[in-house]
Amino acid sequence: MLNRTYLSLICISILFPLFAYSQDTNQENDDNAEHLSLQQCLQYAMKNQPALKQSLIDETIARTNNAIGLSGWLPQVGLDGSLTHYFTLPTSFIPNTANPTGPKEPFQTGVYNTATPELTAKQTIFNTDVLIAARAAHLITKQAKQNTASTKITLISDVSKAFYDLLLSTEQIKVFKQDTARLNKNLSDTYHQYISGIVDKVDYKQATIALNNSLAQLKSAMESVAAKYAALKQYMGYPADKKFVVDFDTTQMMQEIYFDTTEDLVYEKRIEFQQLQTSKYLQRETTAYYQLGFIPSLSAFYTYNDEYQNDKLSDLFGKAYPYSFAGLQFSVPLFQGFRRLENIKKSRLQEKRQDWDEVNLKLQINAEYKLALSNYKSNLYNLHEMEYNVSLATEVYNIVKLQYKQGIKPYLDVITAEADLKTSEINYLNALFNLLSSKIDLEQAMGDISPNL
């Protein structure tokens, strides 16, 4: 009776702290916590992820910059004014009426106080700056939208992988708990066989060692869950102080592991390729801008003035002497030290460099595709093999355990069979979630991930 009590205390002392710890580390599993599927996690990230919010703001900034650049096409209206007081009137020289052929006589002209409000309107007819701003506006907007699309694609990939990584840990915990339950039962059976004299003390100690090892693995897996929840929250933009629980459908997940590996790689589907093409178009517009630098700028203007003049400051605004005029203004940069020619040369060299960027990007995309495809095929094959191993290991464990109870097999064989079963189950889970992650990598390499959920 004492030995049985001692065994019970050992099991309680080992298992109770662990399950108490389980409640702490799995704090996300709150009855009031929100349950989120992968699709819901992605939808939440699309609305709340800080990096995506910044990218959307960048889109608005791009449109605002376009509006600023295009504002030069609209009339520019300004109001200026001046107020002048002369302490000494300016001197002019006029002919001497009494002696026309003699020297001119000095004469003070003007009034002591002058006020001149001036209204000016200017309309650009042709200017390279506003012309290029108009031609490049849609490209700048397109570039900003492509940057947002790239951010979304990366976000979908990161959230999906973090989601699967978290699921892997939770599923591993289930395996370790099942393993712990089996080993705990084995420990109890071995103890009773030891008490009955069927087996020696070594079997009992081996059972205890195996259980302790399994408990350590379970604790380690539980320890990682909180960190992986934090990583998923970071990608989602989810508040750190709020809780949620991942929710998934195993059947649906198994249906989503397959991908058509016969699909051809199309470079144009990759967002990076699309971004490069937009950048090349913008560079061509830059070249055109420098080429148009030889054309004169032309604008029309109109000016209206109300001029007030009076020697007495108090009577200054008593009467106005208005005048107005209009005209055309042009500017011809004749020589700028070959600056325009060098800018054209530089811009064309940058175009050539971007052509090589395209070549390099295609090589990079092809390498990413080949790597992702090989990983996917390897993981798919590995999954089927691990699935078969689980069925074999389960069958072997059940047979060996029965043979041990009948005294045919030593307990060491039970430990080995149980370890093989646990390893095969863990390997199966690793293969499954590695396959899901490699599928995401393959879809991203193929350009099949849509930024629009």
Higher-pLDDT residue of 248 and 15 is 248
pLDDT bucket at 101, cuts 50 / 70 / 90? confident
What is the reported pLDDT for 357?
96
Are the C-beta atoms of 275 and 146 separated by less than 8 Å? yes
Mean pLDDT for 2-7 is 45
What is the reported pLDDT for 7?
47
- Cα–Cα dist 392/397, whole Å: 9
Of 84-93, 101-110, 266-275, give the lowest mean pLDDT range: 101-110
What is the reported pLDDT for 186?
77
Of 266-275, 322-331, 332-341, give the lowest mean pLDDT range: 332-341
What is the reported pLDDT for 389?
93
Percent of the chain past pLDDT 70, that is, above it, reads 91
115: left (phi over 0), alpha (psi -120 to 50) or beta: beta
Mean pLDDT for 161-178 is 90
What is the reported pLDDT for 233?
95
Higher-pLDDT residue of 221 and 50 is 50
Percent of the chain past pLDDT 90, that is, above it, reads 55
Mean pLDDT for 140-148 is 96
Distance of CA 244 to the CA centre of its chain: 22
In DSSP notation, 46-101 reads HHH-HHHHHHHHHHHHHHHHHHHHHGGGS-EEEEEEEEEE-SSPPEEEE--SS-TT
What is the reported pLDDT for 84?
92
Question: Among positive and negative, which fits the CA dihedral 407, 413, 418, 421?
Answer: negative
Burial environment of residue 120 by CB neighbours within 10 A (0 to 12, 13 to 18, 19 or more): middle
The 10s digit of each residue's pLDDT in 278-298 is 999 999 999 999 998 888 899
What is the reported pLDDT for 31?
55
- Cα–Cα dist 207/199, whole Å: 12
**Residue 13: is its pLDDT beyond 70?**
no
pLDDT bucket at 32, cuts 50 / 70 / 90? low
What is the reported pLDDT for 404?
80
What is the reported pLDDT for 4?
47
Tokens of 276: 């490069």
The alpha carbons of the chain give a radius of gyration, in whole angstroms, of 41
The 10s digit of each residue's pLDDT in 360-410 is 999 999 999 999 999 999 999 999 999 999 999 999 989 998 888 787 888
- Cα–Cα dist 202/190, whole Å: 10
Of 2-11, 86-95, 126-135, 348-357, give the lowest mean pLDDT range: 2-11
Q: Which residues pair with 299 in a beta bridge?
A: 124, 329
Are the C-beta atoms of 445 and 368 separated by less than 8 Å? yes
pLDDT bucket at 19, cuts 50 / 70 / 90? very low
3-state secondary structure of 30: coil
The domains located in the chain, with CATH, are 2-74+127-296+336-446 (1.20.1600.10), 75-125+297-331 (2.20.200)
Higher-pLDDT residue of 219 and 104 is 219
The 10s digit of each residue's pLDDT in 200-226 is 677 778 788 888 888 888 898 888 899
